[in-house]
Amino acid sequence: MRSVLSKTILTAAGALATLGVAAAPAAAAVPGTSALPICFKINLLSFGNGAVSAERYMDCGMVDPILLSTTIEREDVAGTWVTVASGVGFATHQCDGSALRTYRIKEVPSKVRTLPCG
């Protein structure tokens, strides 16, 4: 399976702000430290086994991943992006052939791939 992966390093406070949640209090810091954990924002667009898949989540290490809204869009012949699959944390779209088509993760528009998935 080939994939494209991006990571964004954020502090937990920054991750929570991204989600529209107030920063955690200092009491929620990593035990033995006053620092909040570092989080990685994972955005993965992959192709394999006749399907396009996308994953989006925040990985803060010591806690369960924070799943993010995930939408796969396909560009139509007019250049308009059309939603073909969506979910929370993960989405998949089964291919209808092997014609080259362009897909992206809606929430991360720079995640674009042209794939043999008609």
Closest CA to 89 of 106, 101, 71: 71
Segment holding 74, helix H or strand E: strand 69-75
Q: For the segment 31-54, what is each residue's pLDDT rounded down to a tens digit?
A: 555 567 788 999 999 999 999 999
Q: Which residue has the tokens 């308009």?
A: 80
Distance CA 7, CA 94 (A): 26
Domain boundaries, the chain: 2-116
Distance CA 44, CA 104 (A): 10
| 20 in Cβ contact with 79 (< 8 Å) | no
Instruction: Give the 3-state secondary structure of residue 18.
Output: helix
Q: For the segment 24-33, what is each residue's pLDDT rounded down to a tens digit?
A: 333 344 555 5
30, HSE (Cβ side, Cα atoms, 13 Å): 13
Question: Token digits for 83?
Answer: 């939603």
Is the pTM higher than 0.85? The answer reads no
